[in-house]
Amino acid sequence: MANTQQSGFAFPMIAKGPLGRVNYIRSNTIALIEDSILQILLTVPGERQWNPEFGCRIKSLQFEALTATLAETISNLILEALKRWEPRVSVKPADITVTESFDINSKISVKINYRVLNPDFTSRAKNTVLIQF
């Protein structure tokens, strides 16, 4: 039987209690992995003093016009960051879709399909995370 419960940080990390500590939560694997992916992709390298290399540089591209080259750059940055910082998942270039919305607040949307690599995890279906910036 698969262990689908793990401990980890929730996203966003919120300091709680009188000492301002960030508490661990117990949640299902998918929720923790999705929170981890969001933390990785929305953290700018250099933002964490104790780990200045952590994160992904996609936020630095948020005001650029979306072109095929920029979409490929975003995909490559995401692949590199997830490969380095989230070993529990598998993501391939074809699993990332980059689009731009043209409403009043133009945004770049990134849809990421991933598979959980834990052999004990019962679901082999792809899971999806959507971020907008």
Q: Identify which has the larger pLDDT, 119 or 72.
A: 72
Distance CA 58, CA 76 (A): 10
Name the architecture of domain 5-132.
Roll (3.10)
Token pair for 113? 């399909």
Question: pTM of the prediction?
Answer: 0.78
Q: Identify which has the larger pLDDT, 13 or 88.
A: 88
Token pair for 61? 């591209």
Whether pLDDT at 132 is above 90? no
Q: How far apart are the first and last CA of the chain?
A: 38
Length of the chain in terms of residues written: 133
Distance CA 11, CA 36 (A): 7
Predicted pLDDT of residue 107: 80
Predicted pLDDT of residue 45: 96
* Gyration radius of the chain over CA positions: 16
Q: Identify which has the larger pLDDT, 65 or 114.
A: 114
- In this structure, are residues 89 and 117 in contact, taking their beta carbons and an 8 Å threshold? yes
Burial class (CB in 10 A: 0-12, 13-18, 19+), 91: buried
How confident is the model over 49-105, as pLDDT tens digits? Answer: 899 999 999 999 888 888 899 999 999 999 999 999 999 899 999 999 999 877 666
